[in-house]
Structure 1
Amino acid sequence: MKKINQVVLVSLTVLIFGCQTDFDSVKWKSKYDGFYPQRKKMVKSLIDSELLFNNSQEHVIEILGPTDSKDTLNNGNIELTYNVQESYGWDIDPRYTVNLKLQIDTTNNTVVLINLVESEDRRSLLEKITTD
Structure 2
Amino acid sequence: MDQQIHQLRAELRAEFASTIDNLRGEIQAQSQLISTLQAQQASVPPPPSLKRPKSSLPDPEKFTGLSVKYDTDSIAQFYYVFFNLASQVQAIVLPQLASARDSGIHDFNTILDQLRRVYDNPNKT
TM-score (norm 1): 0.19
Query: Relative to total residues, which structure has the larger strand share, 1 or 2?
Result: 1
TM-score (norm 2): 0.20
* Structure with the higher helix share, 1 or 2: 2
